[in-house]
Every structure is written in C-alpha cells, then in structure tokens.
Amino acid sequence: MPVRKIFIAGAGNVGSASAAFMAMKQLGNIYLYDILEDFSIGQAMDINQSLPYWNSDSRVTGCHSLDEMEGADVVVITAGGKRAEGMTRLDLLYQNLDIMYDIGEKVMERAPGAFVHVTSNPVDVLTWALKERWPDMNITGLGCALDAMRFRFFLAEHLNVSREAVNCTVIGTHDDNMVPLVGRADVGGIPVKQHLTQVDEDRLVTLVKHGGGDIVKRLKTRSGFFAAATKVTQIVESHLYNKQHIFPVSVMVNGEYGYHDMALSLPTAIGERGVHEIFEFDLNDQERAMLDVCADSMKKVIAEIRARK
Ligand SMILES: NC(=O)c1ccc[n+]([C@@H]2O[C@H](COP(=O)([O-])OP(=O)(O)OC[C@H]3O[C@@H](n4cnc5c(N)ncnc54)[C@H](O)[C@@H]3O)[C@@H](O)[C@H]2O)c1
C-alpha cells in the first residue's frame, strides 16, 4: 500500500496527540498544521524523536500553510478557539464556523477526495455546516464516538470485567443531550440492564454525560485529549484499512429516523469510502424522545446560523 498522507489542521492537544498516535501506528506521513508559527513544527520534532521506540518510519512534518494539504488522503480538523471571558457559546460557534469554512475551502481546492474528520466543537453543528456548504465533501465528525468509548470504560469498571467484554453505544449529539443507550448495552452478550439497578444506571449515564466536563474541571484551562485522539486514530485507521468498524460518528442524516438537513451522531460503518452505512435502531419511545431533543436543538442552532447569513 502506498504511504498515505494525513493532514491535521490544529496542532493543539487533540491534533498533536492524534499525530503522535497515528505515527506510532504508522498510518502514514502526517502534516501537522497550526496557525501559530513554529508551534506545529516544535510538536512535530518532538513526536518524530519518539518514533524509534515504536519502530515507526512515519514522518510528522510541522507546517504553517494550508497549501501543504495538497493531495492528502485524510484531513483531520481539530483547529479552533476556546471560549474567552464574555464570549457566549454562540460566539464560539461562529468563531469556529469561520475557521471551518476557511479550512473547508482549502480541502475542496487541494484535497477534494480526502476523508475529512472533524473534532472541533460544537462538532455535530460544524460537521453539518461543512457538508451543507460542500455536499461532495466526504466528512464525519467525532460526535459521540468518544462518549461511547467512555461509556464502555465506565460499564467495565462498574461490572469489574474486561473492557473488551462490553458493547455499548451513545447516539444523538456530543453535548448534554447525548443518549447513552443503556438498554442496548451488553456484557459478553448478556444485556447489562440485568446487572444494573436504576441507581447504577442513572449514575453511569451521568458519568458518561459529564465525562468531558469532569476532566475539564480538573485540568482547568484545557480539556481532555488522550481519549479523543485515540478515537480519532481508530476512525482514521478504519478508513485507511477499510475495516468498516462501527462508530457513532457525526454524519449528515438523509432520512434516518425521519430527520433531514442536520448532522447527528449515529452508528456508522467507516471504511475506504468513508461512510459506508448508517445503522438505525428500532428505538423505543423513551429513546426516540431523547433523540428528538438532540434533533430539535440542532434545528434551532441551524436556524440561528441561517439567520446570521
Ligand atoms: N468531539 C469530541 O469528543 C471532542 C473531544 C475533545 C476535543 N474536542 C474539540 O476539539 C477541538 C480541539 O481541542 P484541543 O483540546 O486540541 O484544543 P487546543 O486549544 O489545544 O488546540 C486548538 C488548536 O487550534 C489552533 N487554531 C486556532 N485557530 C486556528 C486556525 N484558524 N487555523 C489553524 N489552527 C488554529 C490553536 O492555535 C490550537 O493550537 C476543540 O474544539 C475541542 O472542543 C472535541
């Protein structure tokens, strides 16, 4: 297989850790880009010098120009600002939206066939915005894929079993409305509900929903990134090696659950074509109502974005 070119926009915590993990797994040659001059170059130097231990011949190149994206097979977008004092969530959304449009334009110019994967928040909205502007873009967002991995971790801890024994997912949107599907989770094929009291269930759902926030509380000025970068690496690997692994990534819906014109996090097979299939559960009324909350809130944000134009 030819050496693949992976371009990562944003050399912050998620971007640099993703570059390091992808290089360790020798997924390709990685271009790490940031708006901060020298920052991505320094991060790349540090990652490269760790690779002899991993027996990896991947090369990470730090760069300061989006033109380096030329011919990339994969573009990961982790660029974005943080909420500064006095800024509303919407202010941050618009700031990151403008960054997405700048990067998206370059993707369509320099690497139109690339598999694009976004982590920047609000990830479901930004995934929708890029796909809406460029319908041919082959794009997914990290969505609830990280939340699903967290859910698996918390369930395995609670049940005191191997993390490999647990299957579970989270759908909806990567925010407080996310829907951890407890009723669908199993441990070694046995529904986890058989092992949980209602109190356990409520506690585990809260742990998943607050997973990211609980880390931020302790890190203060930054958010967690090891788990996010791990998931990004697994998703990119599934694309490059056509594994068709299933992740609840953020995807533009096309009639799934009757929704249109929005991105939701739904179980999706990722392979060489990017999105191969979006799977629909036969949701019960309660699960469906929770997914509707995610969809309604997305609709409102999309209406606000359209009103701004
Ligand atoms: N969806 C998820 O599960 C999930 C998980 C973790 C992080 N995130 C999101 O991913 C994004 C990255 O997180 P992080 O912890 O790496 O943040 P970070 O602040 O460490 O990194 C962001 C980087 O983007 C760069 N940047 C800002 N504007 C840019 C521009 N116009 N062009 C290029 N680079 C630019 C910054 O210089 C910085 O290095 C955030 O939006 C975060 O909320 C999502």
Question: Amino acid identity of 275?
Answer: V
Task: Quote the Cα angle for 247-19-136, to 5°.
Answer: 55
Residue having the nearest C-alpha atom to atom 32 of ligand 1: 35
- Residue 85, pLDDT > 70, answer no
pLDDT of residue 131: 98
227 pLDDT band, cuts 50/70/90, is very high
- Candidate of 7, 13, 14 to mutate for ligand 1, largest count of ligand atoms within 8 Å of Cβ: 14
pLDDT of residue 198: 97
- Among residues 285, 279, 275, which one has the least CA distance to residue 266? 279
Q: How far is the CA of 74 from the centre of ligand 1 (A)?
A: 17
| Catalytic entry in 158, 174, 260, 276 | 174
Q: Classify domain 145-308 by CATH number.
A: 3.90.110.10
pLDDT of residue 139: 98
pLDDT of residue 84: 66
Structure tokens at 151: 């859910």
Q: How far is the CA of 15 from the centre of ligand 1 (A)?
A: 7
120-168: pLDDT as tens digits = 999 999 999 999 999 999 999 999 999 999 999 999 999 999 999 999 9
Mean pLDDT of the chain: 96
62-72: pLDDT as tens digits = 999 999 999 99
Domains of the chain, residue spans: 5-141, 145-308
Q: How far is the CA of 5 from the centre of ligand 1 (A)?
A: 21
CATH class of 5-141: alpha beta
Bridge partners (DSSP) of residue 7 are: 31, 75
- Among residues 204, 202, 140, which one has the least CA distance to residue 166? 204
- pTM of structure: 0.97
- Residue 237, pLDDT > 90, answer yes
Task: Please give the share of the chain, as a percent, with pLDDT higher than 70.
Answer: 98
Provide mean pLDDT across the span 38-52. 98
Find tokens 């460029």 and name the residue: 134
- Whether 27 and 117 have beta carbons less than 8 Å apart is answered as no
Provide mean pLDDT across the span 282-286. 95
Lowest mean pLDDT among 84-88, 177-181, 290-294: 84-88
Long-range contacts of 256-261, Cβ-Cβ distance < 8 Å, separation of 24 or more: 256/280, 257/283, 257/288, 257/291, 257/295, 259/295, 261/132, 261/302
258-278: pLDDT as tens digits = 999 999 999 999 999 999 999
C-beta of 99 in contact with ligand 1 (< 6 A) = yes
pLDDT of residue 154: 98
Find tokens 């599934």 and name the residue: 238
pLDDT of residue 83: 66
Query: What's the rounded Cα separation, in Å, for the pair 295 and 264?
Result: 7
